[in-house]
Amino acid sequence: MPITAGRKAIAEGVGAFTLIFIGAGAGILSGSNLLLVAFAHGLAIGVMVSALGRISGGHFNPAVTLGAFVGRQISGRLAAVYWAAQLGGALIAALALFAIFPSSVWQPSHLGTPALGTFPENAGAVPPLTGIVVEGILTFLLVTVIYGTAIDPKGTFNAVGGFAIGLTITIDILMGGPLTGAAMNPARWFGPAVVSQFFDNWYVYWIGPFFGAIVAGLLYSRVFLDRNP
């Protein structure tokens, strides 16, 4: 059976749903347990990339899709299909969490919506511009690893693709989680934010990931990707 755009869209929606349902759900339940949240996100993506990567490439993230697009690895039409599926999957996951948890449980974390935090040692709140830089760098690392393990035909996908991508998300959250929530993914912000109606500093979670993904996509496709057979 051919892998059609519809099948790819379903795979992307399921992957995004899994990330938000598991990742945001873990955030609601665990509160400040950074290690648990980091591994919940990383394992969710790792297993879904391993399961569905052969169908759609395992983006599950509008920023990753943009990085693939600027690197000429996906058409504009298919990218638009992916974005719709990813945001739709994220929204359905957030609605599921909304239905599962009482409002008193999810309201403190705004249904697991990423938000700017504070610096250690009472150094103050993280400014939005700093949040954009952090999200950009974290997403740059993620998209670079995805190119090297899942997009590059000479990469290491068959051996470590899902494992490497999942671990990248884990280490990114361990560093950036206290600062920005380490979304690295507009869909990760979008679903919980829309359902909980929490839109503080919303632009941080679009500008940062998109900028980081564009830089990574252009760098890898033009400098590292070997286009020779």
Nearest to 61 by CA among 79, 74, 34, 77: 79
Taken in order 204, 93, 52, 9, is the CA torsion positive or negative?
Answer: negative
The yes-or-no verdict on residue 201 having pLDDT over 80 is yes
What is the mean predicted confidence (pLDDT) over 142-171?
A: 84
User: What's the angle, vertex CA 144, arms to CA 142 and CA 146, rounded to 5?
Assistant: 70
pLDDT 10s digits, 86-101: 999 999 999 999 999 9
Phi, psi angles (nearest 5°) of residue 116: -70, 140
- pLDDT averaged over the chain? 94
- Superfamily assignment of 5-224 in CATH? Glycerol uptake facilitator protein. (1.20.1080.10)
What is the mean predicted confidence (pLDDT) over 125-145?
A: 97
The yes-or-no verdict on residue 163 having pLDDT over 90 is no
How is the chain split into domains, by residue range? 5-224
The yes-or-no verdict on residue 65 having pLDDT over 70 is yes
pLDDT tier for residue 156 given thresholds of 50, 70 and 90: low
The percent of residues above 90 in pLDDT, for the chain, comes to: 84
Phi, psi angles (nearest 5°) of residue 113: -70, 130
pTM exceeds 0.85: yes
Q: In this predicted structure, what is the pLDDT of residue 150? A: 86
